[in-house]
């Protein structure tokens, strides 16, 4: 499904002065690389930390936030204060939360 959508978009946007098959394959490869990057896991033990104060998803499926000023993790809670995680509760891995693009309103 993903590849077909990327291929369709590439065909729609291909400049007339470029070779269509080469352009389409390049477009699909680039889109797939971006998709894979968005699903990549990061490991704090390797020094891979998220941006300060940005919600990310832990390997346990929890929304967490890293605060660089205290070098600590918090579990995100939209209805209350964020809860500081104890050292043994800190995530082993995290990944970015990628929200789908909302469709544009038609006029």
Question: pLDDT, tens digit, for every residue of 6-18?
Answer: 566 656 665 665 5
Asked if the structure places residue 103 within a domain, the reply is no
In a domain, 76, yes or no: yes
Q: What is the pLDDT of residue 105?
A: 74
Same domain, 89 and 61: yes
- Out of 14-23, 48-57, 94-103, the most confident range is 48-57
Cα(7)–Cα(27) distance, rounded to whole angstroms?
Answer: 7
Same domain, 51 and 82: yes
Looking at the 3D structure of the chain, how many domains does it have?
A: 2
pLDDT computed for residue 18 by the predictor: 59
Residues 49 and 85 grouped into a single domain: yes
Query: Which one, of 52, 45, 44, lies nearest residue 94 by Cα?
Result: 44
Domain that holds residue 29: 2-38
Tell me: pLDDT of 1 over 50.
Answer: no
Residues 52 and 78 in one domain: yes
Whether 106 maps to a domain, the answer reads no
What is the pTM (predicted TM-score) of this model? 0.56
């Amino acid at each position: 499904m993903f590849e077909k959508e990327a291929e369709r978009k590439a065909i729609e946007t291909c400049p007339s002065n470029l070779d269509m098959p080469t352009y389409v394959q390049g477009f699909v490869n680039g889109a797939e690389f971006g998709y894979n990057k968005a699903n990549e896991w990061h490991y704090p033990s390797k020094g891979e930390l998220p941006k300060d104060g940005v919600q990310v998803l832990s390997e346990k499926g929890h929304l967490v936030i890293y605060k660089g000023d205290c070098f600590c993790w918090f579990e995100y809670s939209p209805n209350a204060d964020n809860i500081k995680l104890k050292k043994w509760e800190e995530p082993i891995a995290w990944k970015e939360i990628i929200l789908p693009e909302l469709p544009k309103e038609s006029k």
